[in-house]
Amino acid sequence: MKKLTFLSFTILLFSMTAFSQILKPVTWSYAAKRTSATTATIYLKATIDQGWHLYSQYVKDGGPVKTSFTFPASKEYSLIGKTIEPKPISKFEPTFNMNVGFYENSVIFQQKIKLTSKSTAVKGTVQFMVCDDKQCLPPENIDFTIAVK
């Protein structure tokens, strides 16, 4: 009887694992391009699965978690201005009872930097949240490192 119970439990566990799915509807990629001997632009691209929305950096309080970028201080570079983004799609979302700016398919954020060394690695973290028409996933933080040569 114990063997049968253990076998049933094992089969149930494996079948649950087979049907469970980890949702990762956003993939991030990064690049850097020198714009002069002392400046560069960092590109942070989000590729978004069909049906999902990634939110703008400029979402009002009471809405979804806005996309944000943090860059720790470095002696090798400094930020020039804020991280820029293209104009988002703006639409009323009943879930949040407000107009919300978001992106579909893909979006590229840009951050200009001033270099104080010939080459460096820009480190940072992106925090973001995504929703589809049925659910919102919890906010996610992803660390990144981008080589600037």
What is the residue whose two structure tokens read 């973001």? 128
Domain residue ranges in the chain: 24-148
pLDDT of residue 17 exceeding 80, the answer is: no
Neighbour order of strands in the sheet with 39-48? 26-34, 39-48, 106-115, 77-84
User: Can you give the pTM of this predicted structure?
Assistant: 0.84
Tens of pLDDT, residue by residue over 71-128, are: 999 999 999 999 999 999 999 988 899 999 999 999 999 999 999 998 899 999 999 9
Interatomic CA distance for residues 69 and 76, integer angstroms: 18
Interatomic CA distance for residues 133 and 125, integer angstroms: 27
Interatomic CA distance for residues 32 and 36, integer angstroms: 12
**Which two three-digit tokens encode residue 149?**
């040569």
Tens of pLDDT, residue by residue over 45-77, are: 999 999 999 999 999 999 999 999 999 999 999
Superfamily of domain 24-148: Thiol:disulfide interchange protein DsbD, N-terminal domain (2.60.40.1250)
